Amino acid sequence: MKNSTAQASIVPFYYGWLVLAASAVSEMLVQGATSYAAGLFVLPLQAEFHLSRADASSPVLILFLGAALVSPFVGKFLDRYPIRLVVTLCALIFSGAFLVVAASQSLWLMAAMLLLPGAIGFMGLGPLNTALLASRWFYHRRGLALGIAAVATSGGGFVVVPLLSRAIQEHGWRLALTYEAIAIAAIIIVLAVLVLRDNPGSMGLDEHAENRGRKEAAASRAASSKDASRPFLWRDFLTKRAFWIPSMVLAMTSGTAQALVVTLVPYAISLRVTPASAAVLISAFSIAAAITKVGAGILADHINQRFLLIVAALFMTLAWLTLSLFASYEALFASACLGGIALGCALPTTAGLIAASFGADKFGAVMGWTYTFVAGSAIAATRIIGTLYDIFGGYHVAFLAFFALLASLLAATLLFPLRKTARSAILQ
């Protein structure tokens, strides 16, 4: 095994890196246009439609709700159909939904476009697609590939948001959204046609050093299955702790991270921190997450991934504990960094464990269900922290509640009996 890994490391070029780069760019554009850019549209929507601040902030939650509903189905399509076809269709659907939103005067129609077409495109072009292609194309360095792929989630905040913000200021939100939709569709479709391919076999790279041993591991996994000939059903993974533990760690970590990001700036301002200094907290979170994603991906190829799940749950628990105990800018900064590290550990590790436990060929279907829980957790955590703030007139009760929730998750993760070594887990 060490020899094949060494051979993989000295090969100067592997086409999978191009596939990974193309899918990462697609994810960056989609994430930047949705999760990170949502705040840019709050004030324009509030002014034009005379909405409350909460209602004007709802579009991203509607998108997340749709993502929770469609993720399993999008995952199946990614598993079953040519990747270029699925990505091209998702790009057209996603951009078409945005074009309708930009032209519509109906809030109900806008919500409908985000709930289904927008969510389908979001999942088909976003982290589910990138993680799937990383799992298909990489075997010996899957952890590293998944870590790099996960960084694309953070890239949208640095690339798309500044450009879109300037376009909104110069042309208004409707025209800016129109330009964005057209640009995203054009870029992603070109990348899909020219670069994306389904798997190494489609390029004659099954025997490349990166993939040596993959077929044997797949055959061994099939032989150990009780009935490898029957179709892969939901109960084949929804009844397994190998699915639930990583998925719940990611869902709870990602969901509470969304609540943390939403809370950091207003809480900091309530402590008389300047808006500029408060914004630094979000940057600290994003940078910590981006760096940790790559680091966790590298470590996943060398250590038992159970420990990375424990680190994710531990650091997010510490993030909320810090907020519960201290009310200072330094505590907020530490919490932001801890939360970013937790998210950075959870994303590539969960994807790696799902691929190792159920195979790259079933990755889309299984990970699609994982992202259903991720989206549901983000919606719930964001609403819960706002509701508790309204009820108690402050965040302290919410901080304690999330600390207790994450502490319970940490305890469950510590009991997760993952006995395989990192190398045997990854190479399946």
**In 271-329, which ranges are E strands?**
none
Mean pLDDT score of the chain: 83
CA distance linking residue 78 with residue 131, whole number of Å: 11
Contact call for residues 83 and 376 (beta carbons, < 8 A): no
pLDDT mean over 365-378:
87
Q: Tens of pLDDT along 217-270?
A: 666 656 655 555 555 566 677 778 888 889 999 999 998 988 887 787 778 878
Higher pLDDT, 427 or 334: 334
pLDDT at residue 419, as a whole number: 44
Length of the chain: 428
Contact call for residues 105 and 79 (beta carbons, < 8 A): no
Flag whether pLDDT at 421 surpasses 50: no
Question: DSSP class of residue 202?
Answer: G
Q: Tens of pLDDT along 114-132?
A: 999 999 999 999 888 888 8
Flag whether pLDDT at 7 surpasses 50: no
CA distance linking residue 119 with residue 177, whole number of Å: 16
Flag whether pLDDT at 377 surpasses 80: yes
Question: DSSP class of residue 35?
Answer: I
Higher pLDDT, 144 or 43: 144
Contact call for residues 149 and 23 (beta carbons, < 8 A): yes
Q: Tens of pLDDT along 94-107?
A: 999 999 999 999 99
pLDDT at residue 39, as a whole number: 65
CB atoms within 10 A of CB 207: 12
Just give the CATH number of 234-428: 1.20.1250.20
Flag whether pLDDT at 6 surpasses 60: no
pLDDT at residue 175, as a whole number: 95
Domain 15-200 class, CATH top level: mainly alpha
Task: Report angle CA 242, 248, 251 to the nearest 5 degrees.
Answer: 135
Higher pLDDT, 286 or 392: 392
pLDDT mean over 361-370:
84
CA distance linking residue 118 with residue 128, whole number of Å: 15
Quick one: pLDDT band at residue 141, thresholds 50, 70, 90?
confident
pTM of the model: 0.72
202, burial (CB in 10 Å: exposed 0-12, middle 13-18, buried 19+): middle
pLDDT mean over 22-26:
92
Q: Tens of pLDDT along 45-58?
A: 888 998 776 677 67
Q: What is the dihedral of CA 180, 185, 190, 196, to 10 degrees?
A: 120
pLDDT at residue 8, as a whole number: 42
Q: Which of 64-78, 82-96, 140-154, 278-292 has the lowest mean pLDDT?
A: 140-154
Contact call for residues 121 and 93 (beta carbons, < 8 A): yes
Closest CA to 148 of 29, 308, 297, 22: 297
CA distance linking residue 387 with residue 289, whole number of Å: 27
User: Which amino acid is residue 218, in one-letter code?
Assistant: A
pLDDT at residue 119, as a whole number: 94
Joined tokens for residue 313 = 């749950």
Which of 238-274 are b and which e, b meaning 16 or more Cβ less than 10 Å from the residue's Cβ?
Answer: eeeebbbbbbbbbbbbbbbbbbbbbbbbebbeeeebe
Same fold, 15-200 and 234-428: yes
Higher pLDDT, 377 or 4: 377
Q: Where are the alpha helices (DSSP H) in 11-141?
A: 16-31, 42-49, 53-56, 59-80, 83-103, 107-113, 119-125, 127-137
Provide the residue ranges of all domains of the chain, joining segments of one domain with +.
15-200, 234-428
Flag whether pLDDT at 428 surpasses 70: no
Flag whether pLDDT at 185 surpasses 70: yes
Quick one: pLDDT band at residue 420, thresholds 50, 70, 90?
very low
How large is the C-alpha radius of gyration of the chain? Answer: 21
